């Protein structure tokens, strides 16, 4: 275990390229333990890439990515899977295993990564699905779920292992406002329990302001700003001001 006071996630001068395209350019920031950071920015600015770097799905050309103090950049698959056990990841596409029921999508990681009994696993699955409003859909196949339900199912799967770090790529996209705000309630609840560090990529400013302690703005692979909503509202950069302001 890392010592207290250590940030949960640190980017140190991270540069990521695809071919000769620089997608992240010398990005540095830290997410404190128990904090919720929302990453905002236009489409294609490197937000999803940033999250994928945090679980070692992508590797940077330069810089360090530290999870609870450990630089994960040069870890082998064994080392990475230990790190990933502490992290819940909701992909932008809410990637579910299409040939498995919702129940099995949650059961699989729980059975593989924990030593919990069948009964414990059963009750965790039900409780987690209840939390995201899918308690009655437990035995459905992903194809039977709507887009918003798939999103919530993906979130349930990320939460089932009770991760200390939750990374969520657009958890609200494609959801109606009511469901979207229920997801925000859930994320807020996690944060208020005080131990989950949350990094959310979102286009939903309203939710970001509710759930996030701070916001980060990416633009063309650079970190334009990071800070509290009230600070960024008065930022010198117009794009930052526009992205963090609530508009109806």
Ligand X SMILES: Nc1ncnc2c1ncn2[C@@H]1O[C@H](COP(=O)(O)OP(=O)(O)OP(=O)(O)O)[C@@H](O)[C@H]1O
Binding site for ligand X (CB under 6 A): 18, 23, 41, 43-49, 92
- Residues 53 to 112 in contact with Mg ion, rule: CB under 5 A: 92
Can you say whether the dihedral through the CA atoms of 5, 240, 233, 196 is positive or negative?
A: negative
Binding-residue total with Mg ion (CB under 5 A): 3
- Compare residues 134 and 225 and give the one whose CB is closer to ligand X: 225
- Compare residues 140 and 220 and give the one whose CB is closer to ligand X: 220
Q: Closest separation between CB of residue 244 and ligand X, Å?
A: 16
User: Is residue 111 within 8 Å of residue 121, measured between CB atoms?
Assistant: yes
Q: Closest separation between CB of residue 52 and ligand X, Å?
A: 8
Task: Enumerate residues 6+ apart whose C-beta is below 8 A from 240.
Answer: 217, 224, 225, 232
SS3 label, residue 17: strand
Give the end-to-end CA distance of the chain in Å, rounded to a whole number: 44
- Compare residues 169 and 184 and give the one whose CB is closer to Mg ion: 169
Please select the residue that binds Mg ion; options are 33, 45, 48, 50, rule is CB under 5 A.
48
Please report whether residue 45 would count as binding Mg ion according to CB under 5 A: no
Shortest CA distance to 166 belongs to which of 78, 91, 73? 91
Q: Closest separation between CB of residue 49 and ligand X, Å?
A: 4
């Amino acid at each position: 275990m890392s010592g207290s006071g250590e940030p949960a996630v640190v980017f140190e001068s991270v540069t990521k390229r695809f071919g000769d395209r620089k997608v992240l350019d010398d990005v540095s920031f830290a997410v404190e333990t128990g904090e919720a950071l929302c990453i905002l920015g236009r489409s294609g600015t490197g937000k999803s890439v940033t999250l994928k770097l945090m679980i070692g799905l992508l590797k940077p050309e330069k810089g360090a990515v530290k999870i609870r103090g450990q630089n994960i950049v040069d870890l082998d698959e064994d080392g990475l899977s230990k790190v990933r056990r502490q992290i819940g990841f909701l992909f932008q596409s809410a990637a579910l295993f299409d040939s498995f029921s919702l129940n099995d999508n949650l059961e699989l990681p729980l059975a593989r990564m924990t030593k919990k009994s069948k009964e414990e696993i059963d009750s965790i699955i039900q409780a987690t699905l209840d939390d995201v409003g899918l308690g009655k859909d437990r035995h459905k196949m992903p194809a039977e779920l709507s887009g918003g339900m798939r999103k919530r199912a993906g979130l349930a799967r990320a939460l089932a292992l009770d991760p200390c770090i939750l990374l969520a790529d657009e958890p609200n996209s494609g959801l109606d406002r009511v469901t979207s705000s229920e997801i925000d309630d859930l994320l807020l609840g996690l944060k208020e329990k005080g131990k989950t560090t949350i990094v959310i990529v979102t286009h939903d400013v309203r939710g970001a302001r509710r759930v996030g302690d701070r916001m980060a703005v990416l633009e063309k692979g650079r970190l334009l700003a990071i800070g509290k909503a009230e600070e960024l509202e008065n930022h010198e950069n117009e794009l930052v001001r526009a992205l963090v302001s609530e508009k109806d």
